[in-house]
Amino acid sequence: MSAHGSPTPMMSSPSGPLSGVADVPGDKSISHRSLILGAMAVGETRITGLLEGEDVLDTARAMRAFGAEVTDHGGGAWSVHGVGVGGFAEPGQVIDCGNSGTGVRLIMGAMATSPITATFTGDASLNKRPMARVTDPLAQFGAQAVGRSGGRLPMTIVGAADPLPVRYAVPVPSAQVKSAVLLAGLNAPGRTVVIEKEATRDHTERMLAGFGAEIATEDTEEGRVITLTGQPELRPQEIVVPRDPSSAAFPVCAALIVPGSDVLVPGIGLNPTRAGLFTTLREMGADLTYENAREEGGEPVADLRARYSPDMKGIDVPPDRAASMIDEYPVLSVVAANASGVTMMRGVAELRVKESDRIDAMAEGLRANGVAVEEGPDWWSVTGHGPGSVAGGATCASRLDHRIAMSFMVLGMAAQAPVTVDDGGPIATSFPIFEPLMGRLGAALSHPAG
C-alpha cells in the first residue's frame, strides 16, 4: 500500500522480447543527499535529474520544515535555498519520512548537532526498523533520543547545544549510519572521524567535498577512515543526479532472462561502491556491456546494454561485495532462479533490516512460484534450472517494499505463468515510472482486481 492509498495488486505475465531504451530515474541516494546538503549550504543549490519518488519528496518536505526553501521547477529541476550549517529552524510539526530509512537517518544526523528538537515518524515499514544504530553515535555528539521500545520510530531527537566531535567505528556496514555521523559532524567543532570496516556507498563524502567541506578518506588496516573538519561554510552547488543503478537493475535483469531481449539503459551511475550487481551478473555469464563510459557530476557513468543470456550459471557471490549491491540481492535472486545451478549469497544479514526482511520476503515468494531457496541468518541460496524453468502462478506479498514488488514483477516476465504481488504501490517510493517504462520495453504488467 502506498502511504496515500489502498493496496493495488499488480500482475506480470510471461513477456515477449524486451527491447528499446530504458530511461530510469535519478539516483535515490544522491537525490536525498542533494536536498539535505543543499539545505545546509548558504545560498541556492540547483539540482537536475532529481528522483521524484515518494522517499525523496518526503525529504524535500522535511527540509522545508527545517527552514530551507525548496522549489520544484518541473521535470526533475529543483532548487534549495539553504540555511547554512547549524542554521536549521525547529520544525513545527512531526517529520514524516514515509518509507525512507535513508531520509530519516540522514536527517536525524543533520539536525542532531543543532539546539532544536524534532520528532520523526514513518510508515508501518519504517516504524519497525532499527534506529539505535544512528542514535547511539548521535548520543556521543551530545544529542538525546527518545523513541519506542527497541529504538523504533516515532522518535524525538533533542539536538546537542554544545556538540562534541566524535570518533566512531561503524559496527554494521551502513552508508546511512556513516552519513548520519558525518552530517552531525558538520556542526561540531574540530574533527569528526568515521571508520568503516567495509567500504559502503561514498556519495556523502564526494558531495561534502563538492560543497567545500574539508574531508579526507584513507584506507588503513582499521578500515576506511574518513575525517571531516566541522563547521565549514558549505558553498551551494549545481548538481546533476546520475540515473540510479539500483533502478537500472530491474530492466537489466529482465532483459537478461526474457528470451530475445536487447535493452539499452543510458546514463547509469557506476560508482564502484554501487556497481556490484553488474560485476556479479557478468560473472554469471550475462551479456551485459558498458558503453560510452564517462564522468558526470563527479560520478562515473555509462550506458548499460543487456541482452538475453540463456547460458548464465549460479555462482558464489563474494561476501565482500555485499555492500556494493546490498539493494540488488532481491532481483539477483530472480536472475539466479533462471540461471543453472546454485547462487550462494553470504554476508547479507543487513538484508533482514531493510524496508522488509528481504531474505524472508523473497524466499517465501520464490518458493510459492516453484523455486528452491535455502536460508540462514546471514546467507541464502537459490537453485536455478535454467531459462523457462520457473513455474510462476503465485501471488507474493510485497511487504511495503518497492524492491520486493519490482523483483517479483521481473520474475513473472520470464515465468511459465503470471506472477502477482498483493500491492504494487510501494514501487512509487523509488521508481514511480516503473510500470510505463517496462510496458514500453514490452513487459505485460496489469492490475488484477484486488
Least Å from the CB of residue 177 to ligand S3P: 6
Amino acid identity, residue 160? Answer: A
- List the one residue from 194, 213, 325, 326 that touches ligand S3P (CB under 6 A): 326
Nine cell digits for residue 238: 549545481
- List the one residue from 2, 135, 140, 179 that touches ligand S3P (CB under 6 A): 179
Decide if 92 contacts 115 (C-beta within 8 A).
no
327 binds ligand S3P (CB under 6 A): yes
Q: Is 123 within any annotated ligand binding site? A: no
Sign of CA dihedral 9, 359, 350, 138: positive
Q: Which stretch binds ligand S3P (CB under 6 A): 45-53, 169-177, 212-220, 302-310?
A: 169-177
Cα–Cα distances in angstroms (integers) from residue 277 to residues 105, 217, 319, in the given order: 25, 24, 12
Q: Report d(CA 251, CA 45) in Å as an integer.
A: 32
Q: Is 327 within any annotated ligand binding site? A: yes
Q: Is 28 within any annotated ligand binding site? A: yes
384 burial (CB, 10 Å; 0-12 / 13-18 / 19+) is buried
407 binds ligand S3P (CB under 6 A): no
Sign of CA dihedral 380, 348, 407, 23: negative
Q: Could you tell me if residue 189 is left (phi over 0), alpha (psi between -120 and 50 degrees) or otherwise beta?
A: beta
170 binds ligand S3P (CB under 6 A): no
305 binds ligand S3P (CB under 6 A): no
Q: Minimal CA–CA distance to 302: which of 272, 266, 277?
A: 266
Pick between residue 27 and residue 287 the one whose CB is nearest to ligand S3P.
27
Pick between residue 11 and residue 348 the one whose CB is nearest to ligand S3P.
348
Q: Report d(CA 17, CA 150) in Å as an integer.
A: 48
Q: Is 176 within any annotated ligand binding site? A: yes
Site string for ligand S3P, 354-383 (x = CB under 6 A): x-----------------------------
Q: Pick the catalytic residue from 55, 96, 202, 327.
A: 327
Cα–Cα distances in angstroms (integers) from residue 342 to residues 14, 181, 259, 284, 345, in the given order: 23, 39, 21, 11, 10
176 binds ligand S3P (CB under 6 A): yes
Pick between residue 30 and residue 257 the one whose CB is nearest to ligand S3P.
30
Count of chain residues binding ligand S3P (CB under 6 A): 11
262 binds ligand S3P (CB under 6 A): no
Q: Is 358 within any annotated ligand binding site? A: yes
29 binds ligand S3P (CB under 6 A): yes
15 binds ligand S3P (CB under 6 A): no
Q: How long a stretch of residues is the chain?
A: 450
201 binds ligand S3P (CB under 6 A): yes
Active site (annotated) includes residue 327: yes
Q: Report d(CA 79, CA 37) in Å as an integer.
A: 12
Q: Phi and psi for 299 in degrees, rounded to 5?
A: -125, 140
Pick between residue 245 and residue 412 the one whose CB is nearest to ligand S3P.
245
Residue whose cell numbers read 535513508? 102
Enumerate the known binding-site residues for phosphoenolpyruvate.
28, 101, 129, 176, 358, 403
**Interacting residues with ligand S3P (CB under 6 A):** 29, 102, 174-176, 179, 201, 326-327, 350, 354
Catalytic residue numbers? Answer: 327
Enumerate the known binding-site residues.
28-29, 33, 101, 129, 174, 176, 327, 354, 358, 403
Enumerate the known binding-site residues for 3-phosphoshikimate.
28-29, 33, 174, 176, 327, 354
